Structure 1
Amino acid sequence: MLLALNFDWLTNLLAILFVVACLYDARYDEYGTLTLAAAAMGLIVMAIEVLLRPAFEMSL
């Protein structure tokens, strides 16, 4: 239950993924689609964390 409410590990994982995607895109991809996808996933996870964490905490 504690792991489900703790989004810090997922945010850190997405930050590492974003850095790897930036390095890959800088070398191989001309359009930066991987970087945009990693950034979008990071924003979605942060939004979920901000919006859903208070609901989980109130339900406990």
Structure 2
Amino acid sequence: MNLALNFYWLTNLLAIIFVVACLYDSRYDEYGTLTLAAAAMSLVVMAIELFLKPAFDMAL
């Protein structure tokens, strides 16, 4: 239960994915679609953490 409410591991994983996507895009992809997708996932996770985590904390 504690792992499900802890968003730090997910944000760290998305940061690593973002760096890998940037490195891949700089070499192979001319449009940067992987970087944009990783950035969008990171923004979604940060929004979930910002808006939903207080509700989970209050529910516990």
Superposition TM-score, scaled by structure 2 size? 0.99
Distance 2:13 2:35 in 1: 14
Question: 1:36-55 maps to which residues of 2 (within 5 A)?
Answer: 36-55=36-55
For the aligned residue pairs, the C-alpha RMSD in angstroms reads: 0.3
Unaligned runs of 5+ in 2: none
Distance in 1 (CA, whole Å) between partners of 2:49 and 2:57 is 12
| Partner of residue 2, structure 1 | 2
Post-superposition offset of 1:42: 0.3
> Secondary structure at the residue paired with 2:24?
helix
How far apart are the structure 1 equivalents of 2:58 and 2:34?
36
1:14-39 CA-to-partner distances (Å, cap 9, x unmatched) read: 00000000000000000000000000
Identity of aligned residues (%): 82
Find the aligned partners of 2:59 and 2:27 in 1 and give their Cα distance.
Answer: 47
The normalised TM-score by structure 1 is 0.99
